[in-house]
Amino acid sequence: MCGICGWVRPSGLELTDIVGMNRIASHRGPDGEGYWLWDGQSCAGEYIASQNLHESQQSGIVGLGHRRLAIIDLTDDGLQPMSMDNGRTWIVFNGEIYNYVELRAELISLGHQFHTKTDTEVILTAYKHWGTDCFARFNGMWGMVIVDLQKRRLVLSRDRLGIKPLYFWAKDGAFMFASEIKQFFTANGVKARANMDAIIEYIDTGYEGPPATFFDGIQAFPPGRWAEVSIDRPETPCPQPFWSPEHLELSRISRSDAVDQTRNLFKDAVKLRLRSDVPVGVCLSGGLDSSAIYAHMKLQQAGSEGEILSFSAAFDDRRFDEREYIETVLKAFGEKGNYAFPTGESFLEDSDRFIYQHDEPPGSLSQYAAWTVMHLARQHQVPVLLNGQGGDELFSGYWPAYYQFLRQKLTHAPWQIAQHMLGALAPGGNETLITQLPPHLRQYQHRKKRNNRSYVLPQWQSRGFTAKKNWATTVQKLDSIEYRMNEI
């Protein structure tokens, strides 16, 4: 991961303002640091390398900062902020465009020339050729901001599913963006104030509804969107979609074709993500998703030099430990794994640093286990990891999603419910469907009651708290907050 930040302020800003924002996120990029300032009049502004900061006391109206984690093209050609067109276009970019090789070849065929081997230069060239339509052509994960001096605007974009972070703040005729929330608090006039709407929603449902964050005035830029911000009149952007799952064209194909297409897409996705000039490892949990990723990584590596290291979390409590499944996968390839051992005691020791780096309360303590795995990978000098995050969401692997599916069948095809139950009890069936049903039903009934609001909501209702239904309350058919509040 890299770290990006920037500030547009027509009334003026100092280089030190950007340096402060950038260096608070130095852990995101140990391999490089760079800055760019524009006074609003010059043709290209000024790039400032980290070693020249002591010589620079410039001011301007637009500033960019970047911390680099080098993955593609490890030379100084990959340093950012990066420019093209004689400095009329600049970019700070966090992420990776996996199909940059194919895009580069296409752009060369269209008459463009390249001076680096980076995916960052491909982004700039694609923007030059296709404008904001370029984002729909990218296969990757990103949070990026392009400064177009000719049009005197910033162009923000975030990947389709919001894998990479991008936050912004707009107030008093100024606009800031950053990879992490804590970066904003280095700026004068930005205070760390709680967004009580988000906090109450989190307590009530376990989720916060983006673009809101837990901090007042700071928003998450939405995934699958791009937006423009005027340099002369910066204000809250109006994001425009370049991709949305609701707009995907559906088609009906046979089961065998679906299996073949899924397999081919999966293999291609793993292959593209192995494009790297540094070691690539894998987070291995023993589940279907990460095990399949690891297996395809090993198969695609066959005959090549180097090894693929795996990193996993293990627990002394066998109810949570997955080493049995992890070791089964590793044994199939004759490999040994690397394990982190998170405990309750280690969490208490790490909690301040863990929460500080997360900026906001995590969704579950499983994120702490992942955090320890990332530390383990860094100790082995493996800066890139593939994992199975998103597999459950894509294939409805969570129990609540499965129960939503069954509830839909109860309305439209109730006989299929009986098939599921009988199949679960048959030899080789998923018997946990039966055993897990009672505790999950009890949890659902508890969520419907949501007694926790009796401790929190009344005092905030009198302070103007406005409740909103989010996807969790809608999909699970939970009572609205307003209705329940009337009963308190």
pLDDT per position as a tens digit, 99-143: 999 999 999 999 999 999 999 999 999 999 999 999 999 999 999
Q: Is 4 helix (H, G, I), strand (E, B) or coil?
A: strand
pLDDT-derived band at 397 (thresholds 50, 70, 90) equals confident
- pLDDT for 314: 95
- pLDDT for 303: 62
pLDDT-derived band at 487 (thresholds 50, 70, 90) equals very low
Range of lowest pLDDT (64-68, 299-303, 344-348, 449-453)? 449-453
- pLDDT for 419: 82
b/e map 36-73, b = 16+ CB within 10 Å: bbbeeeeeebbbbeeeeeeeeebebbbbbbbbbbbbbb
Domain ranges within the chain, ordered by starting residue: 3-246, 251-389, 399-487
CATH 3.40.50.10420 for domain 251-389, yes or no, is no
pLDDT-derived band at 51 (thresholds 50, 70, 90) equals confident
pLDDT-derived band at 300 (thresholds 50, 70, 90) equals confident
Residue 186: φ, ψ to 5°: -80, -15
Comparison of pLDDT for 87 and 207, the residue scoring more: 87
> CB-based contacts of 284: which residues, under 8 Å, 6+ apart?
290, 291, 294, 310, 311, 312, 326, 329, 330, 337
Please state the pTM of the whole predicted model.
0.90
Average pLDDT for the chain: 88
User: Could you tell me which CATH class the domain 3-246 is placed in?
Assistant: alpha beta
Comparison of pLDDT for 459 and 40, the residue scoring more: 40
Model pLDDT for residues 407-457, shown as the tens digit of each residue: 778 888 888 888 878 888 888 887 877 787 788 778 777 766 655 555 566
Model pLDDT for residues 172-202, shown as the tens digit of each residue: 999 999 999 999 999 988 999 999 888 877 8
- pLDDT for 469: 63
pLDDT-derived band at 484 (thresholds 50, 70, 90) equals very low
- pLDDT for 486: 40
- pLDDT for 274: 93
Q: What whole-number distance in Å separates Cα of residue 403 and Cα of residue 348?
A: 35
pLDDT-derived band at 476 (thresholds 50, 70, 90) equals low
